[in-house]
Structure 1
Amino acid sequence: MKLSLPLLLLCALSLSTSLPAQTAPWKWQHALVPDVGMDLDAAQVIHVTSLASKGKGTLRDSLKVPGPKIVVFDVAGVIDLEMKGIEIKEPQVYIAGQTAPAPGITLIKGGLSIEANQVVLQHLHVRPGDAGQPKKSGWQPDGITTSGGPADVWIDHCSVTWSLDEGISASTYKSPTGEPAQRIFIRNCIIAESLNDATHEEGPHSKGTLVLDGTQHVAIAGNLYSSNVERNPVFKLNTSGVVVNNVIANPGQRAIHASVPTAETANLPRAKIAVVGNAVFFGEKSKRSARAIFEGTADGYFKDNEGYDWFGQPLDLLRAPFPTLEQPPVWPEGLKALGTTAAIWQVTRFAGARPAERDAIDRRIVEQAFGGTARVIDSQEEVGGYPKIEPVTHVVEVPEKKRTEWLEKLAAEVIYGPEGKPKARSSTP
C-alpha cells in the first residue's frame, strides 16, 4: 500500500514519540571545574553578600534568579537556614564555594535540594543538626539531595555532617518528566556523623548516602564516610552506579550495601553496581556480626576492596555470597580507579570542603576516622555544637572571559594550598 506524505509524517511522529529518550554519555571528569554543558563565560554572575536566610543578597534568593548563573560569595561565615531548606529549581547553576574568603560558607539548620539539570555545587559545609528540636519530632532534613529527575549534577568537595536523614542522597522523588535522575556525581566529599537517636520521626536514623527511586548512573568516588550507622552508601533496587576509592570508617551496622528483592519487589531489577578500590575500617562499636565490606545482593562487580575489623582482621568481601560479575555492569567513561593505598591518601588529604584549610570540625572528623576514635553521635552538641564564625567579607571580581580557568585556580588554592596544584612530575630523571 502506498502511503501519502501526511500519513508518512504521522507514522514517523508516532514512532519518534514512542522511542525512549536518548541518554547522554556518562563521563567522569578529573577537572577541578566539571563541565556540565554550561557556558560559564556567558552566564550571569550573582553575588551572595548576606549571611541571612532569605532576602536581598542571600544564597536562597540568588538561586531563584532565572537563567544560567555562577553564584559567588562576597562573604564567609554561617548561614542559619532557620529550618527551611533551599531548593535549587533553576537549571544551569554553578555554586562556587571556593570564591568565598576563608573559612568559607557553612549552612546550618537546613539542607539543599537539587531539582534542576546541570548543577555544580562545590566547597560548601552543610551541617543541619537537630536545631534544638525534641527527639522523634519529625525534623529530618538531608544534608544535600537530588529530587525530581535532574541530570548532570556534581556535588564536589562538600562537607556534610549532622544530617537527620541522609548526608548526601541521589533520588528521583516525584520526577516531573517521568525520567529518572541520572548522571549524579558525588566526588571528594566528607559525609559524616549523621545523627542517630535524634529528631527523625522513626527514631534512630543515622544514614550516609541513599540511591533510590530508579536513579541511574550515580558515581560515588573519593569520599570519606565516617560514623554513619548505615548506607555508606546503599543502592536500592532498579538503580545503577559505581562506588570507587571511598573510605568508610566506623560504620555502625554495615558499610556498602544494596537492597535484596522481596516478594513485593521481585519484579524490580537488582542494582547494577561496580565496587572498586574502597577501604573499610570498622570502629570499636561497629556491628561485629556484619564482618563484610558489602552486604545485600546486586548485579555487582568487585575489585581491589580492603576492609578490617576493630582488631585488624580482614573483613570478608560479601556478607552473604552471591554470583558476581567479571566486568563492571556500568562504568563512567574516563574514570580510572586508584589502588586502596592511594585512595586512602587522597581521601585523607583532599576530601571535603576547602581541604587545604579545613575547619575544626572536618579536621576532627578526619583525625578520628583514621585514628580509630570516631563514634556515632545523637546531637551536634556532643562534639561542640554548631560552629561560630566571625563573618569575613571581600569583593569577588569575576573576569569576563576564561572563567573556567579562574574557577579552577581558586579551587586549586583551597584544595592544595596557596600555590595551587603542583605540576605533574616527569617520569624521566
Structure 2
Amino acid sequence: MKAREILTSPNLDGLTMIVDNLYTRKQSEDYKTARTLYDFFVSNFPNCLTLKLLKIYLSSSDQVLRLRSIGHLSETLPGLRNRNFKLSLVALHEIKPLLISCLTRQNPRKCDTNCLRVIVSFVAENVMSFYNGRWEELSEYILLLVNQDPIRAFSYFIELPLLYEDFINRFLEKLREEVYKVLLHPEKNKEEAWVLALTSAVKMGIEVSDSVMRREILHNVMKSAFEVMWLGMEREFAIRGLQYLDKYLAKEAKLCKWSSKQCGFVAAFAYAIAGVGTSTKEEAKKIFVMVTNMDKYVLNPAFKLEHFRVDNQDLGVDSDRELYYMFRQCTPMEVLSFFAIPGSDYRSREIAIKRLHDSLCDHTSSQWEIDVSEIRGLQPLLITCLKEEGLPENIYKILGQVVFHVAQETFNYEKDPWFDLWDYIG
C-alpha cells in the first residue's frame, strides 16, 4: 500500500500497523520503515494523520493500541506547534466532534488523560484561531467533568489556551468551588491533586477579569499554603507545587499573550507566596522574575526584589497587612500553629503572634468571644513555644502577653490551674 493510500483509505489497518511497529526494536526493519512513513505523514499530511490517530483510539478495543495512537499524537503535536502549524478549517470541523467522543469514552485511564489533555490543548488553540474560541461542546464537557471527576477536570482546564468569557463562565463557579475544596483541605488530598488545584487557581486568576474574584482566589491560595505549612507538608506540597507551577507558567507565558492585569496577578501571586516561608522564596522568585520581564508587565513599586531574599526579615507593609488579614480568618489554634513552625521567617511569626494577642485582647474586652475549651487547647503548644531558644526579644515579649491572657482565663477555673506553666516558671 502506498503511503498516501494509508491515510486516504477508510480502512485503519495500514496506520495501525505503523503505530504498532513504532514500538518494535529500533534496529529492526519494521521500525525503520514505520518511522520513515510516520515522519513523512507528520511533514506532509498532519491534518489527516491527526484525524486517523483519533479514529484508531475511538474505534479500537485494544487498550494498548489505543494508548499508542494518542501517545504518538500527543508527542507529535507540540512539535507541530513549534513549527507554527495550524490545523485546517476542514480538518477541525471533523476533529472537534471526534475528540469530544474520545473524551467521553467510559472509564478513561490516567495515562489516556495525560495524552488527551495535550491533544485538547492543541486543538483548542486552533479553535481559537478559526472559531474565535467557540467550542461549546468542550465547555459543556468540562462542566460535566467538574461535577463527576474534579481532579481530571483540573488537568484539562490548565492546558486550555486563554478563553473567552462565555466558555469559562459555564463551569467557572463549580470549578472554583471544587478547587477550593482541595486547596483548603490538603490533608484530605494527595499531592498531585493539590498541585493541580493550585495550578487551576492561578489559571483562574489569569482568566477572570473580575478583580474581586482575583483577590478571593489569591486569598484562598495563601490560606492553603499556610495550612500546608501548619501540617508539616511544605516539602511535599508547597515546594513541589511551586516547582511545577514555575514550569507551567513559563510555558503559558510563551503560548499566551497576557495582558498587563494578568501579568500583575501572577506577580502578586509570586510576591505573596514568597512570604509563606523561607523555603518558598526561591521558586516564587523564578515566577516573579519571569513575569516582571514580560513586555506587558506594568511596574508595581510595592513589589521589591529584596522581598525574595532568604535572609530578608521585612516583608513590606502591604504583605504585612495581607498576612494579618489572613490570620484574622483563622482560629487561634491555627494562628499559634503557624507561629510554632520552626524555620518560618520571624516577621511572619511576629504578625501571627500579634494577631493571636489581639484576638485574646478582644476576648477579654468582650468584643469577640473565644470558647474556653479553645483557649485551653492553646496551652501545650504555648509551653513548647516558650521553650524555643533564640526567639527575638520583641517576639518573646508578645508571646509572654499571650501566655498572660491564656493564664488569666485559665485561672478563673479552679479545675484547670495549668500546672505545665508553673513547672516552666519553676
TM bucket (normalised to shorter chain) is under 0.3
TM-score scaled by structure 1? 0.27
Q: Which has the higher strand share?
A: 1
